[in-house]
Amino acid sequence: MERREAVQERLAELTERVSAVQAKVDDATARRDAAQAELDAEATSVAKERELVAGSVPADLIKLYEKLREQQGGVGAARLYQRKCEGCHIELNITELNEVRAAAADTVVRCENCRRILVRTSESGL
């Protein structure tokens, strides 16, 4: 009889632990689902934004960008920051920098090393 009570007690204890673990699983699942929904909404928003921006960029430049993006692991353009291409992290040499400096603002300039489109800003180091 005593043994039976001990077994029932242990069973109740284990059942309680299973419930506690299940509650944690349910909570984690709910948080995962909420995070996934947030990411889906963000992806939709970013895709719409990208579509708007892409619509204002010349078709041949979009084509070049898409080609480079495919070749360069998803990054077709990189900022030129303090004389470095942020795509390959190589510093442009003086000749390359002079060419970028001399190029008109609307000229598409590319990194000699990785061939990505270089995006010039006030922090390009030109």
Count CB neighbours of 13 within 10 A: 10
Q: Are 120 and 99 in contact (CB under 8 A)?
A: no
Residue 76 engages Zn ion in binding (rule: CB under 5 A): no
Residue 85 engages Zn ion in binding (rule: CB under 5 A): yes
User: What burial letters (b/e) apply to 44-76, b meaning 16+ CB within 10 Å?
Assistant: eeeeeeeeeeeeeeeeeeeebbeebeeebeeeb
Q: How many residues bind Zn ion (CB under 5 A)?
A: 6
**24: amino acid identity, one letter:** K
Residue 117 engages Zn ion in binding (rule: CB under 5 A): no
Provide the β-strand partners of residue 119. 79
Residue 87 engages Zn ion in binding (rule: CB under 5 A): yes
Specify the stretch interacting with Zn ion by CB under 5 A; choose among 27-35, 54-62, 93-101, 114-122: 114-122
Phi, psi of 12, deg, nearest 5: -65, -40
Specify the stretch interacting with Zn ion by CB under 5 A; choose among 31-39, 60-68, 80-88, 99-107: 80-88
Specify the stretch interacting with Zn ion by CB under 5 A; choose among 17-25, 29-37, 97-105, 112-120: 112-120
Residue from 62, 64, 75, 88 that binds Zn ion (CB under 5 A)? Answer: 88
Binding residues for Zn ion (CB under 5 A): 85, 87-88, 111, 113-114
